[in-house]
Amino acid sequence: MISQDALQTINRIIAAVFGGYAFTWGFSVLAIATLVALGIDFHEAETAISLVAFLVFLGLFLWTFAAASMIRVWLVLAGGAGVMMLIGLMLQTSLLS
């Protein structure tokens, strides 16, 4: 039988690694699309965001372990990832049309 503590820990690890990754992905999509929309060269935007993205991931990773409420963590990570992804894709569509 897995203890409550162990489940808590597994939840945090999954949130930190996969939730953090999903958020970072969404962030990158939105940030690159936004920079391009602002008239910045595509590769410039891509490079700039690749420099920032892992710092964002690192911050989220540590925050997941430090945060008091796991519900809030998941809300921010999964919700943030979904919303940013959506806006990013909409931006892309409007940029290409």
Residue placing its CB nearer to another protein in the complex, 44 or 79 = 44
**Helices marked H in the chain — which ranges?**
4-14, 20-37, 42-66, 70-74, 80-96
Q: What is the token pair recorded at 22?
A: 């999903």
Could you tell me the smallest distance in angstroms from the CB atom of residue 75 to another protein? Answer: 18
Residue placing its CB nearer to another protein in the complex, 41 or 79 = 41
Q: Are 77 and 22 in contact (CB under 8 A)?
A: yes
Interacting residues of 65 by C-beta distance below 8 A, sequence separation 6+: 12, 16
Q: Amino acid letter at 16?
A: A
**Which stretches of the chain bind another protein, using CB under 8 A?**
5, 8-9, 12, 17, 24-25, 28-29, 32-33, 36, 41-44, 46-48, 50-51, 53-55, 57-58, 61-62, 65-66, 85, 88-89, 92, 95-96
Residue placing its CB nearer to another protein in the complex, 58 or 83 = 58
